[in-house]
Chains A and B, each alone.
Chain A
Amino acid sequence: MATVRLATPLRKFSDGKPEITAEGATLEEVIKNIDSERPGFADKVLENGEIKRFINIYVNNEDVRMGEGLKTKVGDKDVISILPAVSGG
């Protein structure tokens, strides 16, 4: 199962824990699987089937927008970070 690190506003879906584990062969599947256990999660992260404007998602520290987006492949030992986009600078 992949590790999913959650930004603070998403920790209400994890009882306050900063990270959870989830199954799925792609990022999209991982988000769907989390949502099935924790309803409302996908709506927080996605809009019209895309990652929300103000959210960045990284798989193994790589911004998925620079690659395959929600179709990014995810392995068992991979780490997914879901973070606010408006940060730094």
Chain B
Amino acid sequence: MSSVTALRCRNCGEEYEVKPVSICEECFGPLEVEYDIEAVKEKVNKKTIEKGPKSLWRYKDLLPVGNRIVDLNPGFTPLHKADNLAEELGLKALYIKNDSVNPTFSFKDRVVAVSVSKALDFGFDTIACASTGNLANSVAAHAAKGKLNCYIFIPADLNLGKILQTLAYEPNLISVEGNYDDVNRLCTEVAGYYNWAFVNINLRPYYSEGSKTLGYEVAEQLGWRTPDRAIIPVGSGSLLTKIWKGYNEFLELGLVDEVNTRITAAQSEGCSPIVTAYRSGSDIKPVKPNTIEKSLAIGNPADGYYALRVINKSGGGAMASSDQEIIDGIKLLAKTEGIFTETAGGVVVAALKKLVEQGEMDKDEETVIYITGNGLKTQEVLIDHLPTPAKISPDLKEFDKLLSSKIKKEAVPWQP
């Protein structure tokens, strides 16, 4: 039986029954899932979790789902000790939470697994979303597995890899002429007219809970404790707030002894409303995104207000990086740790490097960087930034000649 008791407005505290709604009727504040934490305590401890499946369903008692699950086996992704990158940056202890190896190659499988399962519970036969790409991939895949109708809305200029991957699952894919904020506004209106389960709109309270598992897993994989610092890619701000919630729920359940993690936001300079607000001490001001980093390109972040509060409360930080720094970040992670990430991961590595270089974080801090998407999704950003392969005829002498000469290292225009 689920331990979910109600939905509650995060702003004014108004309580609602568990149904497909996301907004408080009194103040328009976001609704959050509320649990009977005492009942959870009776069921959940370190041993029960450790005996659970090697997926996010090991935390099922802490998630708002019933018995009907659409399962692609998401979560419980590796936490790598990143000694090479740590050495490169002069850090004492660095870990990579590699969430790019999920079933559809991003962390979005966590939120979609929870929300689509909840959609089944509510009796929906159609799921939908507004997406910057990774969510589109995951919603389409879960719709296929769950035999559900599916409508996906994306900005027209999305990365080709994400469009192709989405289409392979055969959803109804709608490419909208505009940026993500335009797509999201359109979908918020569509959700008010059609009785569909928009995972990140009317099912948002359930959807966002899936991200808590990125907090749980890191704490469990570190040996039931949280790191000194977590660096998190930020678009809407939801992931950041939910990782913090995950750490703190473990504290409440007695699964970790303390939470002193400095929650740190990473954005691109071309779309950094949360970083800008943090650094200037102002409210969030919406921006028009202009960056190669499209998965975080949300100019008017839904959870910006709450993300900012978490960053400040945790004594964390925020850093924005240029397009070139993002590309350098992707390459640095690949060449030091063998992990090929998408642009959002480049944003995180770039932020880590800048925080260290600018003296904004202590080199002794045990740090976890969240790598949330796979590099194969955004390959085109690297064109013109990598050398072309050496080309020879299939002849031993030619290979000998090549080895004796210097293999070209400098970047030249890529010609497939």
- A contacts, CB < 8 Å to B: 5-9, 12, 18, 52-56, 58, 61, 63, 65-66, 81, 83-89
A-B contact pairs, 27 of them (CB 8 A): A7-B188, A8-B23, A9-B26, A12-B25, A54-B27, A54-B28, A55-B28, A56-B185, A61-B185, A63-B181, A65-B286, A65-B300, A84-B22, A84-B28, A85-B28, A86-B28, A86-B303, A87-B200, A87-B204, A88-B130, A88-B180, A88-B184, A88-B204, A88-B236, A88-B298, A89-B302, A89-B303
Chain B residues lying within 8 Å of A8, measured Cβ to Cβ, are: 21, 23, 192
8 A Cβ contacts from B218-240 to A: 235-238
Say yes or no: A83 contacts B185, CB within 8 Å: yes
Chain B residues lying within 8 Å of A66, measured Cβ to Cβ, are: 286, 288
Q: Tell me the total A-B contact number using a CB cutoff of 8 A.
A: 95
Chain A residues lying within 8 Å of B27, measured Cβ to Cβ, are: 52, 54
Chain B residues lying within 8 Å of A7, measured Cβ to Cβ, are: 23, 28, 188, 192
Kindly provide the distance from the CB of A15 to the nearest chain B CB, expressed in whole angstroms. 15
- B contacts, CB < 8 Å to A: 11, 21-30, 130, 180-185, 187-189, 192-193, 200-201, 204, 235-238, 285-286, 288, 298, 300-303, 305
Chain B residues lying within 8 Å of A89, measured Cβ to Cβ, are: 184, 200, 235-238, 298, 301-303
Closest residue of chain B to A81, judged by CB?
Answer: B189
Whole-angstrom CA separation of A5 from B236 in the bound complex: 24
Say yes or no: B23 contacts A88, CB within 8 Å: no
Whole-angstrom CA separation of A25 from B236 in the bound complex: 33
Say yes or no: B237 contacts A88, CB within 8 Å: no
Say yes or no: A83 contacts B188, CB within 8 Å: yes
Kindly provide the distance from the CB of B289 to the nearest chain A CB, expressed in whole angstroms. 12
Chain B residues lying within 8 Å of A53, measured Cβ to Cβ, are: 11, 305
Chain B residues lying within 8 Å of A83, measured Cβ to Cβ, are: 185, 188-189
Say yes or no: A54 contacts B29, CB within 8 Å: yes
Chain B interface mostly: loop
Chain B residues lying within 8 Å of A85, measured Cβ to Cβ, are: 28, 300, 302
Chain A residues lying within 8 Å of B187, measured Cβ to Cβ, are: 87-88
Whole-angstrom CA separation of A87 from B288 in the bound complex: 17
Closest residue of chain A to B21, judged by CB?
Answer: A8
Say yes or no: B286 contacts A84, CB within 8 Å: no
Closest residue of chain B to A86, judged by CB?
Answer: B30
Kindly provide the distance from the CB of A70 to the nearest chain B CB, expressed in whole angstroms. 16
Chain A residues lying within 8 Å of B298, measured Cβ to Cβ, are: 88-89
Say yes or no: A9 contacts B25, CB within 8 Å: yes
Closest residue of chain B to A58, judged by CB?
Answer: B185
Whole-angstrom CA separation of A5 from B188 in the bound complex: 11
Extra pairs beyond A54-B30, A86-B303 (16, CB < 8 Å): A5-B192, A9-B24, A9-B26, A54-B24, A85-B28, A85-B302, A86-B22, A86-B23, A86-B302, A87-B188, A88-B183, A88-B201, A88-B236, A89-B184, A89-B302, A89-B303
Whole-angstrom CA separation of A54 from B303 in the bound complex: 10
Whole-angstrom CA separation of A53 from B27 in the bound complex: 9
Chain A residues lying within 8 Å of B183, measured Cβ to Cβ, are: 88
Closest residue of chain A to B193, judged by CB?
Answer: A18
Residue from A7, A81, A88 having most chain B Cβ neighbours under 10 A? A88
Closest residue of chain B to A83, judged by CB?
Answer: B188
Kindly provide the distance from the CB of A20 to the nearest chain B CB, expressed in whole angstroms. 14
Say yes or no: B11 contacts A87, CB within 8 Å: no
Kindly provide the distance from the CB of A82 to the nearest chain B CB, expressed in whole angstroms. 9
Chain B residues lying within 8 Å of A55, measured Cβ to Cβ, are: 28
